[in-house]
Each structure stands twice: as structure tokens, then as C-alpha cells.
């Protein structure tokens, strides 16, 4: 089996460390490079030492050098950084797994454009379980299409910078599409004061930030006399990392294209 050479962006962060650990444990993967910004105090350190397992790969800031020895870059950083990495991947013809969330419409268009030249997996959540939930939500919404109010509740750690989470938004999009609604027209993000009676077609979002919560998501269908709750809870970041490696394997050998985890899992 041909091994895939991975570069990891944001390697000293919580997700970066988990990704490095996942690559180290995968017999079909090689850690080719670990990247950080030029002012990071972790530059020059062994990437594996960050979680107690030295691997011989030093953390660096030279993106071009890293991509020159890599097949795939995995990026769970921030939109501005990811877009810079996107252009570098385009130059080097390296595939890109994007787990970053919070992109503007302009940023999303840049990703779509780059995917005409390189393969890109862009998904709000890489965990296989979450993507199974997306399918369940589609079915549930089609069945519960009358007389049920829909609310999306998500919780993350205090360090998360965007809200609602990309996963919560994707859940809302899945439900809205199944119900024949446009999420941009029916979504409400938090409520305060005298809001009036809840419109029947509204999809509400509630956001919790605190502590070290990895990621909890619930979609509530509330009807007369009953409620259905579909929930996914993450106990660690490893499911996201394993899904990202699966995405990298999916793209290996492809020339270009924009994909999501539903493509990777063969659910389309």
C-alpha cells in the first residue's frame, strides 16, 4: 500500500497535535511536515514531543518546503491562514483537507476556484459519526415536515472563535433543504427581549461556549406532546483527525475537484 505523505498546518494547536498523533498511528500515512507561523515558540521542536511521542519531524514555517515533500496538507486553522495555504497548495499541486470553519462567501468562492486545479475536501466536520447524523437529519426532517419546530443547539470550548459552529450551520442547512426552506431566510441566531410568537418555519440556533467542551450538537424537533432530539457528542478530537486522514486517502490520485465528507464516505 502506497503511503500518503501529510503536512499538518497549525501543528502546535489542539487539533494539530491530534492530527500528528493520528498520522503516527496510521500505517498508511507518513508525517512529512509540521507547520506553524513564523513567530511560533514551537519552531524547531520535534512535532511528536507535543504529545509525548517524538517523531523526528521538526516544526517549521516554510510552507513551500513542506509542500514540496507532501502529498496532502491538512488544515484546521483559521480562514485567513487556510486561504494562504490554499494558494500554496495550488502552486505545488498538493491536495488539501480543509476542516477550518468561519469562511466568508468570498473565501468559499476561492476554495471552489482552487478546486478546479487541485483536489480539495472541504467539510464543516470530518468525523464519520457526525456525517452519519447529517443523513439521519435529512430523513428525520422529511418525516417530521409538519407540526414540528426545529432548534439547533451547539456547545464548544471557550477558545472557539466562530459561532454558530460550522457543524451546527451544516445541520441547519440539511434540515432546511429537506423541508424546502432557505436557511438564510428562516434562521434566527439567538433570541432576546420580546420576540413575539415563534414562526412555524423558523430554524433557531443556540450557542454555548465554555471550558474544554470538544463539541456537542443537538437538533431538536419539538411537536405537540413530543420532541425528538438527535445528538452527537465528541469526547475527543481524534474522530475529526481520523476523518481527515480518510479524506486524504480519498483524494490520493485525483487531479482536482471539490468534495465533502459525504463524497468521502460514499453517501452521495
Give the active site residues: 156, 160
219: β partners: 152, 230
Phi-psi region of 147 (alpha: psi -120 to 50; beta: other; left: phi over 0): left
Q: Which residue has the cell 498546518?
A: 9
Per-residue CA distances from 174 to 178, 208, 229 (Å): 6, 21, 15
Angstrom distance (rounded) from CA 116 to CA 223 = 44
Element (H, E) at 84: helix 79-92
187: β partners: 203
Residues 6+ away with beta carbon under 8 Å from 242: 22, 126, 127, 128
Angstrom distance (rounded) from CA 200 to CA 181 = 12
Residues 6+ away with beta carbon under 8 Å from 146: none
Strands 226-234 and 215-223: antiparallel
Residues 6+ away with beta carbon under 8 Å from 174: 134, 137, 138, 141
Q: Which of 29, 84, 89 is nearest to 57 (CA)?
A: 29
Amino acid at each position: 500500500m502506497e503511503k500518503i505523505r501529510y503536512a499538518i498546518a497549525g501543528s502546535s494547536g489542539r487539533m494539530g497535535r491530534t492530527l500528528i498523533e493520528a498520522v503516527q498511528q496510521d500505517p498508511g500515512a507518513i508525517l512529512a511536515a509540521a507547520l506553524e507561523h513564523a513567530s511560533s515558540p514551537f519552531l524547531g521542536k520535534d512535532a511528536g514531543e507535543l504529545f509525548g511521542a517524538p517523531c523526528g519531524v521538526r516544526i517549521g514555517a516554510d510552507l513551500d518546503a513542506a509542500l514540496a515533500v507532501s502529498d496532502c496538507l491538512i488544515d484546521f486553522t483559521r480562514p485567513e491562514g487556510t486561504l494562504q495555504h490554499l494558494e500554496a497548495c495550488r502552486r505545488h499541486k498538493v491536495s488539501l483537507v480543509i476542516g477550518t470553519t468561519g469562511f466568508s462567501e468570498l473565501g468559499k468562492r476561492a476554495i471552489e476556484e482552487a478546486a478546479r486545479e487541485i483536489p480539495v475536501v472541504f467539510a464543516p466536520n470530518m468525523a464519520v459519526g457526525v456525517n452519519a447524523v447529517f443523513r439521519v437529519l435529512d430523513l428525520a426532517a422529511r418525516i417530521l415536515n409538519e407540526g414540528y419546530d426545529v432548534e439547533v443547539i451547539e456547545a464548544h470550548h471557550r477558545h472557539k472563535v466562530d459561532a454558530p459552529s460550522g457543524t451546527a450551520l451544516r445541520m441547519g442547512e440539511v434540515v432546511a433543504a429537506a423541508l424546502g426552506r432557505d436557511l438564510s431566510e428562516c434562521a434566527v441566531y439567538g433570541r432576546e427581549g420580546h420576540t413575539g410568537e415563534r414562526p412555524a418555519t423558523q430554524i433557531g440556533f443556540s450557542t454555548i461556549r465554555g471550558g474544554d467542551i470538544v463539541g456537542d450538537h443537538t437538533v431538536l424537533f419539538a411537536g405537540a406532546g413530543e420532541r425528538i432530539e438527535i445528538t452527537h457528542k465528541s469526547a475527543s478530537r481524534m474522530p475529526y483527525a481520523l476523518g481527515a486522514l480518510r479524506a486524504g486517502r480519498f483524494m490520493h490520485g485525483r487531479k482536482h475537484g471539490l468534495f465533502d465528507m459525504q463524497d468521502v464516505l460514499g453517501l452521495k
